[in-house]
Amino acid sequence: PKDPSGSPSAESIKVKKEVANTFVKRKKRSSLYEWYQEYYKSPMEQMHERCENYPPCDYLSDQIGFSMAYNRFFG
């Protein structure tokens, strides 16, 4: 069904839960530890991402190593 403006109504766009579940599968977490690791990054991982997102640091880390490059730009 269409409303007077010509766009489809919300009822015609909805998909039943059973139908949606056939093509959208969620990854199941087997433990609380896996859930925690997925959402909270370690400080070292945060440092690596910060350096990777800053091109001069990322380039220098390939040349002299991550720790020296990180300390030069952020240390």
- Concatenate the DSSP letters of all residues of the chain into one string: -B-TTSSBPHHHH---HHHHHHH--PPPP-SHHHHHHHH---HHHHHHHHHHTSHHHHHHHHHH-HHHHHHHHH-
Residue 66 lies in a domain: yes
Residue 69 lies in a domain: yes
Residue 45 lies in a domain: yes
Total domain count for the chain?
1
pLDDT beyond 80 at 49: yes
Name the residue range of residue 64's domain: 41-74
51 vs 1, more confident? 51
Give the tens place of pLDDT for each residue, 1-47: 555 566 666 666 777 776 766 666 666 667 777 777 777 888 999 99
Residue 4 lies in a domain: no
Q: What is the reported pLDDT for 29? A: 61
Residue 3 lies in a domain: no
Q: What's the pTM?
A: 0.51
Residue 33 lies in a domain: no
CA separation for the pair 52, 67 (Å, rounded): 12
